[in-house]
């Protein structure tokens, strides 16, 4: 089962062992650290764009002289570095730096770089030309799509203790074994830098990054990207508690555009416009005051489309189309006849949500409502029109409105998921997140000294007795127990 990024898991792990979290969500200026105390100073002119999931901001770098510098070093031992990347860059000769805390193999630190369109994670150990860890992904990420990158290391030389994940957090893309162990009590030679790798704030660019970064997370432990999911065993059945839902009526999405990009972060676009007097945003301005208050396409060639990017992903239950407010039969017949309502997460790949064929006999300024059945939220919605009602000059829409999905009231209940031991996939898909009540993770405990108890030996018994009590209420799921005696 593929496991994708979940912010609740990031928050859980950040609370447990987080050092720094750069979200880039500031309106402008330097980058703040939402977890630690680092401040990222901007050099060149990196600028903020829409975040990886359509929320907040990401940082865009120009590949020339943009980079971010902090004065914060990181521990060398156990580490997890996570980031989101979107790029088309292809770099040879050592790659371009995404996140780094050192300048090269002669120093101590970590580097996450982009090389030949692939992610490479390095750990250095202060020996020139020799990396402590070098993991290169087997898949490319320079496809202009967002990718989730996670590098973890146990800080020691355990077999496959270093792992590099790309998008699927269930199975590492590649693993490796470090040459030497390093301690969290020692700090990296350099400080955290993003988008480039330089020995000072004044020297020339080394290998600048061209693309976007978001959600740069640094931890001083190996994080668990999995969900901790649980089911309750009761009367021989594994059960999940399903919360009830209050009734939530369908509501109109109130959008009043004053241009194609105002108010931000809304954005409206179209396949074409008849003229500057019929812009796409007129279909989202909240009015149909006259024949000119509409979007109209340039001609009637198929297809023509009208699109809006929302402020956050929305699951809709219906939408409405209003025709032009005109007494002209030509204007009214420009109303859509055949179309598809589509939804998208990225504005590039669309799902077909609702198809209409032969919607005829429109009247002036008439509003028609159409129900949609979808279980998914979308950031983008597009009206994809393939024909109108006979208009010869354009395809036109007076107003396009979206309505949120009505939520019916349901009562809380326990539901049986399985009558036999569930599979790992069943736990992930149907289990409950009981964190922090059951904050479970595999952990190796420090050695516990035992106490000599020779006095319990009988008069004729020979040997030594050692004893130590382990609180099984605290450690109730012990996988392995080793006993070592030094006599």
Secondary structure of 139-173 in the HEC alphabet?
EECCCCCCEEEEEEECCCCCCCCEEEEECCCCCCC
Cis peptide upstream of residue 238 (ω within 30 degrees of 0) = no
Phi and psi at 134, nearest 5°, equal: -145, 105
Res 479: pLDDT: 60
C-beta of residue 112 within 8 angstroms of C-beta of residue 121: yes
Res 301: pLDDT: 96
**Angstrom distance (rounded) from CA 425 to CA 418:** 12
Nearest by Cα to 108 from 80, 155, 75, 78: 75
Those residues whose C-beta lies under 8 Å from the C-beta of residue 178, and which sit 6 or more positions away, are: 123, 132, 133, 153, 156, 157, 161, 162
**Mean pLDDT value of segment 197-203:** 80
In the predicted structure, residue 436 carries a pLDDT above the cut 70: no
Those residues whose C-beta lies under 8 Å from the C-beta of residue 235, and which sit 6 or more positions away, are: none
Nearest by Cα to 101 from 199, 34, 185, 177: 199
C-beta of residue 208 within 8 angstroms of C-beta of residue 66: yes
Res 444: pLDDT: 67
Strand partners, 96: 114
What is each CA distance from 141 to 49, 61, 145, 162, 196, in whole angstroms?
A: 19, 16, 8, 20, 18
Predicted model pTM: 0.57
Tell which wins on pLDDT, 320 or 248. Answer: 320
Maximum pairwise Cα distance, the chain: 115
Res 486: pLDDT: 63
In the predicted structure, residue 161 carries a pLDDT above the cut 60: yes
CB atoms within 10 A of CB 403: 20
pLDDT, tens digit, for every residue of 50-95?
Answer: 999 888 999 999 999 999 999 999 999 999 999 999 999 998 777 8
The domains found in the chain, sorted by start residue, are 7-219 (2.60.120.200), 267-404 (2.60.120.260), 420-487 (no CATH)
CB atoms within 10 A of CB 476: 8
409 pLDDT band (50/70/90 cuts)? Answer: confident
- Kindly state the percentage of the chain with pLDDT values over 70: 92
* The pair of three-digit structure tokens given for residue 86, joined into one six-digit string: 């979107």
**Three-state secondary structure of 6-61:** CHHHHHHHHHHHEEEEECCCCCCCCEECCCCCCEEEEECCCEEEECCCCCCEEEEE
Those residues whose C-beta lies under 8 Å from the C-beta of residue 414, and which sit 6 or more positions away, are: 232, 234, 239, 240, 241, 242
Phi and psi at 283, nearest 5°, equal: -80, -5
Nearest by Cα to 397 from 308, 294, 318: 294
Buried b / exposed e across 261-276, counting CB within 10 Å, b at 16+?
A: eeeebbbbbbbbbbee
Buried b / exposed e across 84-105, counting CB within 10 Å, b at 16+?
A: bbbbebebeeebbbbbbbbbbb
CB atoms within 10 A of CB 171: 11
4 pLDDT band (50/70/90 cuts)? Answer: low
Cis peptide upstream of residue 436 (ω within 30 degrees of 0) = yes
**Angstrom distance (rounded) from CA 116 to CA 97:** 12
Res 358: pLDDT: 97
**Angstrom distance (rounded) from CA 276 to CA 256:** 19
Res 227: pLDDT: 65
In the predicted structure, residue 357 carries a pLDDT above the cut 60: yes
Residue indicated by tokens 């992903």? 313
Res 291: pLDDT: 96
425 pLDDT band (50/70/90 cuts)? Answer: confident
Sign of CA dihedral 48, 54, 56, 59: negative
């Amino acid at each position: 089962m593929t496991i994708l990024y979940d912010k609740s898991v990031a928050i859980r792990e950040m609370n447990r062992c987080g050092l720094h979290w750069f979200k880039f969500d500031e309106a402008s200026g330097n980058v703040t650290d939402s977890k630690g105390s680092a401040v990222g100073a901007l050099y060149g002119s990196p600028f903020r764009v829409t975040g990886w999931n359509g929320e907040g901001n990401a940082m865009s770098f120009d590949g020339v002289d943009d980079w971010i510098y902090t004065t914060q070093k990181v521990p060398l031992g156990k580490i997890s570095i996570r980031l989101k990347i979107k790029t088309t860059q292809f770099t040879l000769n050592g790659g371009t730096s995404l996140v780094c805390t050192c300048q090269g193999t002669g120093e101590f630190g970590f580097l996450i770089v982009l090389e030949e369109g692939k992610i490479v994670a390095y750990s250095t150990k202060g020996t020139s030309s020799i990396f402590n860890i070098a993991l290169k992904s087997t898949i490319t990420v320079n496809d202009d799509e967002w990718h989730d990158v996670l590098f973890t290391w146990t800080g020691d030389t355990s077999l496959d203790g270093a792992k590099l994940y790309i998008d699927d957090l269930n199975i590492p893309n590649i693993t490796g074994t470090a040459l030497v162990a390093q301690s969290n009590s020692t700090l990296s030679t350099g400080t955290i830098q993003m988008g480039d790798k330089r020995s000072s704030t004044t020297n020339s660019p080394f290998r600048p990054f061209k693309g976007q970064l978001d959600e740069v997370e640094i931890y001083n432990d190996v994080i668990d990207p999995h969900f901790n999911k649980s089911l309750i065993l009761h009367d021989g059945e594994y059960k999940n508690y399903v919360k009830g839902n209050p009734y939530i009526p369908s509501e109109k999405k109130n959008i009043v555009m004053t241009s194609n990009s105002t108010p931000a972060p809304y954005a409206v676009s179209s396949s074409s416009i008849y003229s500057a007097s019929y812009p796409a945003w007129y279909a989202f301005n909240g009015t149909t005051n006259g024949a000119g208050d509409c979007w109209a396409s340039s001609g009637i060639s198929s297809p023509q489309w009208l699109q809006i990017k929302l402020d956050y992903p929305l699951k809709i239950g219906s939408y409405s189309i209003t025709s032009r407010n005109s007494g002209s039969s030509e204007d009214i017949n420009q109303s859509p006849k055949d179309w598809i309502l589509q939804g998208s997460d990225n504005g590039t790949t669309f799902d077909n949500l609702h198809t209409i064929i032969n919607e005829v006999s429109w009247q002036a300024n008439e509003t028609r409502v159409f129900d949609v059945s979808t279980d998914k939220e979308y950031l983008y919605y597009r009206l994809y029109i393939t024909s109108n009602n006979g208009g010869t000059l354009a395809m036109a829409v007076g107003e396009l409105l979206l309505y949120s999905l009505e939520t019916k009231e349901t009562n809380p209940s326990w539901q049986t998921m399985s009558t036999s031991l569930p599979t790992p996939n069943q736990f992930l898909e149907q289990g409950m997140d009981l964190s922090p009540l059951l904050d479970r993770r595999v952990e190796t405990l420090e050695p516990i000294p035992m106490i000599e108890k020779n006095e319990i030996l009988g008069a004729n018994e020979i040997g030594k007795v050692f004893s130590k009590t382990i609180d099984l209420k605290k450690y109730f799921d012990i996988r392995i127990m080793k006993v070592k005696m030094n006599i």
